[in-house]
Amino acid sequence: MGNESEIKQAAALLKQARSIGCLTGAGISAESGVATFRDALTGLWAHFDPQRLASQEGFAQDPGLVWRWYMERLQMVERAQPNPGHVALAQLEQWAPAFSLFTQNVDDLHERAGSRQIYHLHGSIARFRCNICAVEHPLQPAERDAPQPPACRHCGGPVRPAVVWFGELLPAAVLAAARHVASHCDLFLVVGTSGVVYPAAELPSLARRSGAMVIDVNPEPGPMADEADLFLQGPGGQILPDLLAAMRS
Ligand code: OAD
């Protein structure tokens, strides 16, 4: 990568940071084979209409289609393995005096890579709840192949994945924690997000306005690169291990 000097600068900033906030998006899971949303070639949505699938309206209109789409994505996530980018962030957490990871991703690859202080801004595809009474619903094996969503054992309502759909609010406590960290950290690391979905996308500029240095890691320059003090162009699975190696040298 032609980033050698930026990598060295970023490593120096990470080494002297007392508290680090981190925001990840679908891009960090791309090298694990989990499709992103908007990448033209691999994006999930190249083949699906997100409004039809990730919304109350879509679920009401065709609960079976939505259920089967999420069962497919759950299987894709379960087959995936954390990549070196996920592992590097887990190592960075071990190293840093204070490190909080906010992910927009609904997969559990950060958990499986060993990260601990993880906040899911958009929920988790591996957890399920009733769409009516919100009671948690542990998925039964037979329900994975069912053509329709299971019925809530508490109220009989349709069960849905515990992810944030279009038009739904983010979990308030998680968003408050993210805003608190962005406002108080001294370094904010952004990896693999197109930065077009709010309120998650506001975090880097909030961090910068609050005096933090912002580093963006992405193969493509985008809105997040414009917000960053340092833009490291390349895949997370390459750049993040390089960053950790530079911190050790
Ligand atoms: P997107 O699909 O919008 O953006 C993926 C980003 O990852 C792009 O900027 C790519 O350039 C970048 N990328 C691709 N490969 C990469 C790699 N190997 N390493 C690093 N970056 C890479 O996904 P998000 O920004 O996460 O919300 O989308 C944000 C939200 O939009 C999602 O959480 C979802 C969707 O609405 C909900 O489902 C609520």
**Residue bearing the CA closest to ligand 1, atom 23:** 26
User: Residue 35's pLDDT is what?
Assistant: 85
| Mean pLDDT computed over 43-69 | 84
Decide whether any atom of ligand 1 lies within 6 Å of the 223 Cβ.
Answer: no
**Least confident stretch, 49-63, 92-106, 199-213:** 49-63
User: Residue 20's pLDDT is what?
Assistant: 98
Average pLDDT of the chain to the nearest whole number: 94
> pLDDT confidence of 44, banded at 50, 70, 90?
low
Q: Which of 83, 104, 124 for a ligand 1 pocket mutation test, highest count of atoms within 8 Å of Cβ?
A: 104
CA distance 32 to 195: 20
Atom of ligand 1 nearest to the CA of 44: 2
| Mean pLDDT computed over 4-13 | 96
| Mean pLDDT computed over 93-120 | 97
| Mean pLDDT computed over 189-204 | 95
Residue 137's identity, in one-letter code, is: H
Q: Given a cut of 60, is residue 149 above it in pLDDT?
A: yes
List C-alpha distances in Å: 163 to 16, 154, 188. Answer: 36, 20, 25
Predicted structure pTM score? 0.94
Q: Which of 37, 59, 165, 168 for a ligand 1 pocket mutation test, highest count of atoms within 8 Å of Cβ?
A: 37
Decide whether any atom of ligand 1 lies within 6 Å of the 216 Cβ.
Answer: no
Ligand 1 centroid vs 193 CA: distance in angstroms?
4
**Residue bearing the CA closest to ligand 1, atom 16:** 27
Ligand 1 centroid vs 249 CA: distance in angstroms?
31
| Mean pLDDT computed over 144-159 | 97
| Percentage of the chain exceeding pLDDT 90 | 87
Q: Which two tokens stand for residue 158?
A: 């349709």
CB atoms under 10 Å from CB of 144, counted, come to: 14
Q: What is the pLDDT of residues 82-101, one digit of tens each?
A: 999 999 999 999 999 999 99
Domains in the chain with CATH codes: 1-34+82-122+170-249 (3.40.50.1220), 35-79+127-163 (3.30.1600.10)
> pLDDT confidence of 40, banded at 50, 70, 90?
low
Beta partners for residue 23, in sequence order: 102, 190
Q: Which two tokens stand for residue 23?
A: 């925001």
Which is the catalytic residue, given 86, 110, 120, 122?
Answer: 122
Active site residue 47: no
User: Residue 148's pLDDT is what?
Assistant: 98
CA distance 185 to 203: 11
Q: Given a cut of 70, is residue 41 above it in pLDDT?
A: no
Ligand 1 centroid vs 181 CA: distance in angstroms?
21
More reliable by pLDDT, 119 or 249 = 119
Return the closest-CA partner of residue 138 out of 106, 107, 166, 162. Answer: 162
User: Residue 43's pLDDT is what?
Assistant: 63
